[in-house]
Amino acid sequence: MTTEDQWIGDLGHLALADATLGALLIDMLIVLAHAEYPESPPTVDPGLTTKQAAGDARRRLEAEPELFGGTAGDWLSDVVAVTDSRNELLHAVALDRCGVCGASTRFVHPRSGQEVDRSEKVVRDLTARALALHKDGMLVAEQIAERVNALIVARARLDAEATGEIQNPPQVYPHHVTHKCGNCTGNGRGSTTIRLGTAVAVYPREQLKAVMEGLRKPPRRSNESRAVRRQAKP
């Protein structure tokens, strides 16, 4: 084990931050898959690496930019850059690793042959970048979901008009589960929030018109209630 003064950076936290970012990208791909409605969404491979998932999202962005917000392209570029740096750090080979305690000070990436800085500051800074990208990525994912959901409703409306039947299309959202530890909730107790997809009712135009007119009409009073009101008058 390396001692504290020989510590080379918390690579465990970096790996977890990268995995969380990758999970968000896969979640985005799942949301995008529902843009095939009313066809069944294609299956998204949950084992994609962060860079693979970012590549799939980039190809979808280039094919259907209307499903993405304006910041998605730059965000994906930053994700790839952070992922490349993460891979360089994790796959670097120690040149002077002690065979007893494991302490190392010099590292090189085997593919490029370039020396790699795996100091604590570099690793922690990269971890912070990955976590910030996850936070920003939630906004990107929500924009995607909003546009995919609007597309689903538009197609359901066409089906409602064509069939004369009410449609109940799904609505999809990113990041289904959010955990907070006791320190971050502020009350010492952890919490878990689960966000589930919902369904909406899309009416044929004439049925919707009838429903809206019914809602605008004041409720009719019965003869009995009118009689009671007359008796109550002085």
Tens digits of per-residue pLDDT, 119-135? 888 998 999 999 999 99
Is 231 inside a domain boundary? no
The whole-angstrom separation of Cα 169 and Cα 157 is 10
Q: Which residues contact 23 (CB under 8 A, 6 or more apart)?
A: none
pLDDT class of 111 with cuts at 50, 70, 90: confident
Q: Residue 134 belongs to what domain range?
A: 4-164
Is 45 inside a domain boundary? yes
Is 101 inside a domain boundary? yes
* Residue that is written with structure tokens 């008796």 in the block: 231
Total domains in the chain come to 1
Is 107 inside a domain boundary? yes
Is 224 inside a domain boundary? no
Q: What is the average per-residue pLDDT within 37-44?
A: 94
The whole-angstrom separation of Cα 195 and Cα 175 is 7
Phi, psi of 200 (to 5 degrees): -120, 160
pLDDT at 230: 56
Is 170 inside a domain boundary? no
Is 227 inside a domain boundary? no
Is 151 inside a domain boundary? yes
**HSE of 58, CA atoms in CB hemisphere, 13 A:** 14
How large a percentage of the chain has pLDDT more than 70?
Answer: 86
